[in-house]
Amino acid sequence: MTAHRLVLATRNQGKVTELHAILGEAGVDAGLLGAADFPDVPDVPETGVTFAENALLKAHALARATGLPAVADDSGLCVDVLGGAPGIFSARWAGRHGDDAANLALLLAQLSDVGPEHRAAHFACAAALALPDGTERVAEGRLEGTLRYEPAGTGGFGYDPVLQPLGEDRTCAELTPGEKNAISHRGKAFRALAPAVRELLKG
């Protein structure tokens, strides 16, 4: 039987690869495409005020544009001492969307004099599924940890080099892809979403 096709609302190949592994492990039989496979589809402004709102905006827009079921996520780093910031602004914390190095440098500078006992933070993710008929589902996941003073590791992306998960002595960027998927906020959110994906694709 031919796998159903599912579009992921991102042009970030790292996310496509990560989601492919997560959904595969969760038993979802789907041919996964990225937004880059649809170059004529414009990016969707993230105008929501929560991760869930932004994920749904992107999933619905891509489902409408492609006529295929679409999944999207919005995620970010929430730092306790910053009142939950950068939060939904994580990807553009330094002012330019997607500049990981600048975002990381700014965050570390802002927290340079914050002691280890106040460096609690978590990654949060909302994963959304939208069908062309408007049906939607959302699931969320978190990864609790603390922030290092210096980046470590070359894996992952975004703030992975500075978040050390609770119970770990390595940052997210030092974990193998399999180790990261097993505990990550995105892994938890998409695993929680996977039953709805299976059910709706089957239907």
The residues that are catalytic are 74
Sheet holding 136-147, edge to edge: 30-34, 4-8, 70-79, 120-130, 136-147, 163-165
Six token digits for residue 172: 């997210």
Range 162-188 burial, b when 16+ CB lie within 10 A, else e: bbbbeeeeebbbbbeeeebbebbbbbb
All residues at 6 or more sequence positions from 1 whose CB lies less than 8 Å from its CB, including other chains:
29
The answer to whether the beta carbons of residues 35 and 104 sit under 8 Å apart is: no
d(CA 152, CA 175): 10
Q: Measured in whole angstroms, how far is the alpha carbon of residue 42 from the centre of its chain? A: 19
Q: Is 119 left (phi over 0), alpha (psi -120 to 50) or beta?
A: alpha
